Each structure stands twice: as C-alpha cells, then as structure tokens.
Structure 1
Amino acid sequence: MLCPESPKYILITKGRVKDAEKVLNWLRGTLDVKDEMTEMNAEFESQKATAGTGLREMWTDPSLKSPLIIAVMMQLAQQLSGINDVMFFSTAIFEDAGLSTITSQYATLGMGVMNVLMTFVSMVLIEKAGRKTLQLVGLSGMLFVVILLTVFLAIKDMAPWIPYISIVLVIAFVVAFATGPGSIPWFLVTELFNQSARPLATSISVRVNWTANFFVGIGFLPLAQLLGPCVFVIFAVLLIVFICFTVNRVPETKNKTIEEISAMFKPPSDLPSL
C-alpha cells in the first residue's frame, strides 16, 4: 500500500503526465524534477510511434536482440561465477579444507556478515564508478580468488595454517562479487531497454538468472565429489569467458539517457544522417 507505481509506467504506458510528476516528486523528495520529466517525456514521445514489444521482436530486432544478449549474459555471469555454490555450501567447503565444524560455521557467519556490509559499499560505488568498470573489477577479483582457492584446497594438508586461508579467500570472493556482479546485472537490464521492452526483458533476465541458479545449485556437490578442488577450475574458465564478453560487448551506461543507450544498438542504416 505504501509503494507507488513507477513514474515511467504512469507516464509512458498510461499517458498520465501530472500523476507521473506527482509520484516523481514524492520519490525524489523535491519539486525540482524538471530535467528528469523532460527525459521521460522524450522517451514517451519516441515510444508513441513504436508498436508493443513481444518475444518475436526481442529476437528479430537488432536494436533489442543485442542488449537482450548482454542482459542474459550478465545474469549468467552472476550465477555461473560460482557465488551461490560458495553461499550454499560454504560450511562444507570449509570442512573439506580441513576446518572443524564449529570453525566452519563461524566462518560461514563471517562470510554472511561481510556480504551484508559490502551491499552498503556497493550502494556508494554504483554511482561513483561506471557499471562496466565495477563488473570487470568484480569478475576479475573473483577469478583471481578462485584460482588461489583451488591451489590452497589442493595443498590443504601441507601445513596446519593453510585451511584458514580458505576463510580469507571465500570472504574475498564474496567481496569481489558484491562489488560488481551482485548488483550490476540488475542495473543493466533496466538501463539497456526503453519502457516498451523493459518489462519483457526483465522477465527474461529473471528467468535466466533463476534457471542458472537451479542448475548450479544441484550440480555443484556431484561435481565437487568427482573433481575435488578442481571443481573451481570450471568457474575460473567461465569467469574468463564473462570477462572477455564484458570487455568486448558491454557498453558503459552511466550518465547516459535511454536515447543515447538505444542509439548504440541501432544498425548504421537506422541512424540519422548528419
């Protein structure tokens, strides 16, 4: 009862300008929303001549297909990075590293606390650094940590202090995840699409995210039993793939309007001549 509709939905989908401005005033806590209303109105005008977006248009329109692929790949990067295996099975990972059950449980608790704290840090970083930059920093950090984790799990019996390194590495893995891949995919899917395509694109992204989550969740323990510490090599390879994709295909959306972002994906023949 306390949540208003999205101002963009009210304006672009329903066409109620005054109501959209009223809700925007409430959300921002100020009457000075002229610039934002101007941007929303520009999107509204550009959408008037556009037909509704369906699944067919998503896969046949180049200006929609490319951002959809990016959105889907970022959701896969989030889940196939191995973060939920670390979250779901952290206690088992610590025990396999040679820690006692009690120590493993405390380590899992510490990991959860760090995940919460990094959520607040991410809120600050997201508006100071670019989306693409944070995604690359997070994925690269996870890759570095997962390689070290594989090594230290393989040599866990060589010294009594080595298992405790796994605690530090798992917490570092969570920190790297929260820096970028934990939140950036959700920002991108809303910033890459205009109002007519955004709901469908978001729905597809969510479905991909949770489908990947399901398969990673049921597949990790059997793979860990089969491969041992080398199971994390799979995530290392996937992280390399996602880093390369991000470098080459993901645009920076920070401080760009929806018109500027959409223009990045339009075929050259559709761009206005100078």
Structure 2
Amino acid sequence: MVPHSERRKSAFAGTRSGERTGFHPQEDSEDTSGPLSRPAKMSSGGTTGALLYAVSAAVLGMLQFGFNTGVINAPRKFIENFVRDNYEAKPSLIFSVIVSIFAVGGMIGCPLASWMLDTQGRKKALLYNAAFGIIGAAFMGFSKLATSVEMLIIGRFLIGINCGFATTASPTYVSEIAPVRMRGAFGTVNQLAVGFGMTCGQILGIDVILGSDEGWPLLLGLAVVPAAIQLIMLPFAPESPRYLLLCAHDEEKARVALTKIRGSSDVENEINDMHLEDQAAREEQKFSVKDLFTTPALRIPLVIGIVMHLSQQLGGINAVLYYSSTIFVKAGLSEEDARLAVIGVGSILFVMALVSIPLMDRLGRRTLQLCGLGGMTAFSILMTIAFFTYENNTTMSIFAVIFTFLYVAFFGVGPSSIPWMILSELFGQGARSAAVSVGALVNWFANFVVGLTFIPMSEALGNYVFIPYTILLIIFFVFTYLKLPETKNRTIEEVTALFKK
C-alpha cells in the first residue's frame, strides 16, 4: 500500500538519480541530508497542464496496482470452478497460487524498475512497462477461452511484475517532475490512485456487472485498460528533467523539459540545485546491502524498517484485500451481499488516504503507526469474536463487517504508508538506496506469504484465522513502541545520530 502530505524526506529526494527502489510515498519540500544540506531554493513552479498530464499518465501504473490487488477478491468461486473443470488439484490451493504469484512478480518488478529507470530513462521505462502490462492482462483475459489455468497463473505473474515495476517507477517520475513545494501534494496522488483502482476492481466484480462465471475473464482482462491508456499518453509526456541532467548529462534537453513542465523559462535555480544535490550525493560515502547488516549503526535502523514493512503485511491486511469476499461469507453474509460489502474495503482505503494527509505532520510517524497498529489489533480481536458468534445472529454478522471496515480504516491511518517512507527517514543519503531496496523486497515477500497461506490457515483454523495476525500485531505494536523513534521535525543527521550512540 502507499503515500501523504509534505514530509521531511522521501526516498527520492536527495538521492542520486537511479537509486530509487520500492514504493515510496512522498517527497518533501526540503533536503536535509548530505554535506550541502539546506532548504531547497528551486523555482517554486506551479500546476501546469503539462505537469498534470504527465502525472496523470504516470499514476495509471499505481491505479493498475490497486486494481489488480482488489479485483481478484470477488470472482474466487468462479475461478475455483474453472480450476476444478480443468485441473485435478485442489481448487482452493490453486487459487492461493493465483493470488500470491502476483507478489512474486512484484518482487521482480521492483529491482527491474530501478535498473531500467537509470538505463532507459523514466519515460521510456514507464512506456515499456505499460506494454508489458497489456501482455499480462491478455493472458488473464483469454485464459478461460483457452481453457488454460496456466495462462491465468502466468498472467497474474506478469501483471505482478508490471505492478511491482510501477510501484517504483511511477512515484519516482512524479516526484522528479513535481515542483519542490508541491511534492507532498503530488505524492498523495499515488496512494489515491491505488485506492481508486482497488475500488473500481471491487465494483466491477459485483454480480450485476462482471462477478459471474462468464464475466470473470473480462474482469481480470480489464487490466489492459489502464495499461493501454498509459501507453497512448506517455509518448506525449516530457522526460524527467532530473534524469536528463544527472543521468543522460544533457543539460539543454533538461532545460527544455523543465521549461515545458513549469510553464516558465525561469528554471536556472532548479537546474543549479540539481547540480548541487548531485555533487552532495557523490561526496557522501555509499553503503551496500551487505554494509547494512554488518555496520551496527546501520543494522539497527534497518531492523526497525524491516519490522515496519513486516507489520504492514503480516498484520493480515492483504488477507482482507485478497479474500474479504470469503471472509464476509464466513461471517454469515450471502455471496451477493459479500461482494457488495467488499466495495467498502477499497472505498475506506481511498478515504483514509485523504484523511491521513493532514495528520502525518501534525501527529508524527510514530504516533500514527502506533495508533494504526493498536486499532488493527483491537478490531482483529473483535472480528474474531464476531466470526465466532455470528451463527443464528444477524446482528453479529453486521458487526463482523463493521469491525473489518474499522480494521482497514486503522490500517489506512499509518501502517499503509509509513513503512514505505520510514526507511528514507532513518538513513542518510549514502545508505538510503540500499535500505529502501531491502524494505521493498521484504514487503513483497511478506505479501506473497500472506496471499499463499491465508486459505490453508482459514481451512485449518476456521473462525480463529485472524488470531495469528492478532498475535503478530501485538508484537509489532510493542516493538514500535520500544524501538521506533519519532522522525517528525528532525533532520536526517539528528535521526542517524540516535543510532550512532
């Protein structure tokens, strides 16, 4: 999950071009790391047609990510029927593979994007990924026509690569073309796109639209739409001026692109600041992934960041996002009502993306993370109670749905985005890229584990399926309370100094 309001330092700001890995929420309006740290003096810029067009083209990748996270939920029964007709293996097990293979693709897409962003450019990398997304969507859409379960699995894997790629490439491009003072605002667009895409997938999955035995291949195949629109739009979008200047070393093209995006030829300050930022990055010592694990001052914040990522996934949120239709049926709802209730999950995440924007800098990262984990723990317990007592009790079925919605809402308060931004605030410029790479890999792997294991856990534990997640949430809450420092209103130097003592 993803992004928020103006923050101190995102994984993008202040890093050398091409060192961005993982899905990062947001940019700050100020670079506070490196030997030349000072408030940014870049031209303030503003919202122009060219900027809005480019951002719209880029965030279609994030909409794709949200769509493919939420769309698999409703048609489970129909996909399992398809598996049963064409495969002798247990349908629920194959469905778990279909769901979780998406995250395996994501683990490949993230590092692939980091490499392509630097070698091919931001715009061309996004363009290639959009074309790749069309291929993945086609595999899923035609799988039933070809009576091939393998095509469906391959399609989910390919679209997972596409979405993992997008979670790195789209925020990187957006952060690099947005004016410094507006990076926080534009950073929220990524999270809003995810929530909107998820809600669209869930709405289209209801019975009267595409939630049927005939409609599910088209439902999954509709992933072609955002990819195709992005493929059409991107050729007319400008390349990132930062890439042109710092990677392609073409200052003239960078100046032309920046002038187009800003709608003004007054871009000298911004060009000069890019040079200074690059110089600061070159002068700072670089750390590898191995260094993160062997250097005590780096190992401690890395462990904190990894636990934050694990808390996002192993708290059970993707069990809800992938299987909420199944959860609601187990809570006593009819299958039709369950698919309608699923729409509320994506809608709540979309709304919470808006609500949490002003809270991030007012309350701080640590406070919101603790609040989110605490709320998820409480409602995870209440969900279990409701699941256990719903039989012959319509009221408890309703409460089970309400508790699930509130569980998702508290996830949106902090755990949805803070893990993606916290590593960039715990590490200096030289170690940030490696740390964010590790965090992204851990996040996608944990996503895979939850997607693969929830159905077997549900069959084994029945109404007690959320108890393991509850126990983990309690552990994550205690760890966060004891170990996570508050990074709000602290410079990178102040934060890293805490771990050097």
TM-score by length of 1: 0.84
**Residue in structure 2 matched with residue 228 of structure 1 by the alignment:** 462
**What is the one-letter code of the residue matched to 1:27?**
V
Secondary structure, counterpart of 1:89 in structure 2? helix
1:176 and 2:182 equivalent?
no
**Residue in structure 2 matched with residue 159 of structure 1 by the alignment:** 393
**What is the one-letter code of the residue matched to 1:98?**
G
Secondary structure, counterpart of 2:363 in structure 1? coil
**Residue in structure 2 matched with residue 201 of structure 1 by the alignment:** 435
Q: 2:368 touches 2:413 (CA, 8 Å); kept in 1?
A: yes
Pairwise CA distance, 1:51: 3.0
The CA distance in 1 between the partners of 2:432 and 2:294, in whole Å, is 16
Q: Deviations over 1:83-107 (max 9, x none)?
A: 0101110011001111011111111
Pairwise CA distance, 1:56: 2.4
Task: Pick from 175, 181, 195 the counterpart of residue 28 of structure 1.
Answer: 181
Pairwise CA distance, 1:22: 3.6
**What is the one-letter code of the residue matched to 1:184?**
I
Q: 2:289 touches 2:438 (CA, 8 Å); kept in 1?
A: no
Q: 1:10 touches 1:16 (CA, 8 Å); kept in 2?
A: no
Q: Deviations over 1:170-211 (max 9, x none)?
A: 110110000011111112111001111111100100000000
**What is the one-letter code of the residue matched to 2:314?**
L
Secondary structure, counterpart of 1:8 in structure 2? coil
TM-score by length of 2: 0.47
The CA distance in 2 between the partners of 1:241 and 1:136, in whole Å, is 12
RMSD: 3.0
Pairwise CA distance, 1:123: 1.3
1:99 and 2:333 equivalent?
yes
Structure 1 unaligned residues grouped into runs of 5+: 1-5, 268-274
Q: 2:329 touches 2:335 (CA, 8 Å); kept in 1?
A: yes
Secondary structure, counterpart of 1:161 in structure 2? helix
The CA distance in 2 between the partners of 1:142 and 1:7, in whole Å, is 31
Kindly tell me: are residues 22 and 145 of structure 1, through their superposed partners in 2, closer, same or farther at Cα, counting changes over 3 Å? same
Mapping for residues 1-274 of structure 1, pairs under 5 Å: 8-9=14-15, 21-22=41-42, 26-28=179-181, 44=280, 48=283, 50-267=284-501
The CA distance in 1 between the partners of 2:492 and 2:36, in whole Å, is 20
Q: Deviations over 1:25-77 (max 9, x none)?
A: 6322699x9xxx8xx98x949x83x5320122111111111110000000000
Structure with bigger RCO (C-alpha 8 Å, 6+ apart): 1
The CA distance in 1 between the partners of 2:377 and 2:392, in whole Å, is 24
Q: 1:7 touches 1:23 (CA, 8 Å); kept in 2?
A: no
Kindly tell me: are residues 24 and 16 of structure 1, through their superposed partners in 2, closer, same or farther at Cα, counting changes over 3 Å? farther
Kindly tell me: are residues 214 and 96 of structure 1, through their superposed partners in 2, closer, same or farther at Cα, counting changes over 3 Å? same
The CA distance in 1 between the partners of 2:382 and 2:496, in whole Å, is 40
Secondary structure, counterpart of 1:128 in structure 2? helix
The CA distance in 2 between the partners of 1:78 and 1:238, in whole Å, is 11
The CA distance in 2 between the partners of 1:199 and 1:251, in whole Å, is 20
Pairwise CA distance, 1:24: 7.3
Pairwise CA distance, 1:237: 0.4
Q: 2:356 touches 2:414 (CA, 8 Å); kept in 1?
A: yes
The CA distance in 2 between the partners of 1:266 and 1:210, in whole Å, is 30
Could you tell me the percent identity over the aligned residues? 37
Q: 1:58 touches 1:64 (CA, 8 Å); kept in 2?
A: yes
Secondary structure, counterpart of 2:394 in structure 1? coil
Kindly tell me: are residues 82 and 23 of structure 1, through their superposed partners in 2, closer, same or farther at Cα, counting changes over 3 Å? farther
Number of paired residues? 252
**Residue in structure 1 matched with residue 225 of structure 2 by the alignment:** none
